[in-house]
Amino acid sequence: MLNTVFFGTPPIAVPFLERLASLTRVRGVVTAPDRPVGRGYALTPPAVKTAAQKLGLSVLQPTSPKELDLAAAFGPLDVGVVVAYGYLLPPAVFNAPTNGLVNAHFSLVPKFRGAGPIQWALIRGETETGVSLFRIEKGLDTGPVFLQKTVPIRPEDNAATLRERLTAEGVELLGDFVRKIGSGSWEPSPQIGEWTEAPLLKKEDGRVFWDRHSAREILNLVRGTYEWPGATARIQGARLKIRAGEARAHGNGRPGEIVAVEKGRGFLVKCVSDSLLVTRVQPEGKREMDAESYWNGARLAVGHRFEQEA
């Protein structure tokens, strides 16, 4: 049985840890330090720490991975697995196991290297993405690939639903990797193709520009920023998150103008091309609601116009 180590922090990493623990001898788990959470700033452990403790595994929480000595902490290791750990690892760490450290990344590298592959695949209107298992090296997500699995992006997918499906596929891919690496030496293949960047989202990445974005582009923005920061526009001096909608072929009006209302459905906003039927929204500081309820409460009317972002 392989001797392994696991690096991960958020809930998304937990299913990978559980699968690794079912197939190998996990010598230890490395995760981020406990963090203050909520209004009371209660010190809270990462999801991976909680899961590891339930599995009876040894846990390390270094403030910097440069402090790590894997051999001293866990003994000889065959391979390590990294899923959303949150820190860049130095060569002394990723070269310590015999077969190095393998990262589970939610894209078909070299496409969408970086911290936001799911979000940017949706924002850019991709119709497929996937999961890659590659060996960690000094460059950001540049290492050679052991396994990849293509996953279609459904029209109804947002960042949350796509992440759920990619996680399930990734866990299965990890099982395949463990079985293959356990049967002998296995050399990964270099990444092939043009690379694209998928940086961590910033708050301003969610801004809607009616005079620059088509209806389809705004829908893609809604899907990709669904969890954070949200696709945000401003009307009547207040910020409004657009949570769902439909693209419609409609040519009249100025970008940002409400050009029609569909009873029981929502309101239609002119984009730089076509129009967006807004069906669900979330006013600032309030819960998500259907667009018709918002329309009535905000006392909007056809001809009102969203303010253009600077």
Nearest residue to 58 (alpha-carbon basis) of 32, 82, 79, 27:
27
Q: Which range, of 32-46, 193-207, 262-276, averages the lowest pLDDT?
A: 32-46
Q: Per-residue pLDDT for 182 more than 90?
A: no
* Span of 38-47, 162-171, 254-263 with lowest mean pLDDT: 38-47
Pairwise CA distance, residues 40 & 37, whole Å: 7
End-to-end CA gap in the chain: 58
Give CA–CA dist 13/191, Å, rounded: 24
DSSP string, 58-104: -EE--SSGGG--HHHHH-S-SEEEEES--SPPPHHHHTSSTT-EEEE
- What residues have CB less than 8 Å from 187, skipping those under 6 apart? 144
Write the CATH number of the domain with boundaries 203-298.
Answer: 3.10.25.10
Hey, how many other C-beta atoms are within 10 angstroms of the C-beta on 210?
24
pTM for this one? 0.94
User: Rounded CA gap, 21 and 81, in Å?
Assistant: 11
Domain ranges of the chain: 3-182, 203-298
Task: Give the pLDDT band (50/70/90) at residue 39.
Answer: confident
* 104-162 confidence digits (pLDDT tens): 999 999 999 999 999 999 999 999 999 999 999 998 999 999 999 999 999 999 999 99
Percent of the chain residues topping a pLDDT of 90: 90
Residue 261: which H helix or E strand, with range? strand 258-262
**Which pLDDT belongs to residue 310?**
58
58-82 mean pLDDT: 94
Query: What is the reported pLDDT for 186?
Result: 83
pLDDT of residue 42: 85
pLDDT at 47: 97
CATH class of the structural domain 3-182: alpha beta
pLDDT of residue 309: 67
pLDDT attached to residue 308: 76
Q: Which residues 6+ apart lie within 8 Å of 297 measured at CB? A: none
Report whether pLDDT(202) > 70.
Answer: yes
> Mean pLDDT of all residues in the chain?
95
Question: What DSSP string runs through 36-66?
Answer: EETTTTEEE--HHHHHHHHTT--EE--SSGG
Q: What is the DSSP string of 205-219?
A: GGB--TTT--HHHHH
The answer to whether 3-182 and 203-298 have equal CATH topology is no
CA–CA distance, 110 with 102 (Å, rounded to integer): 15
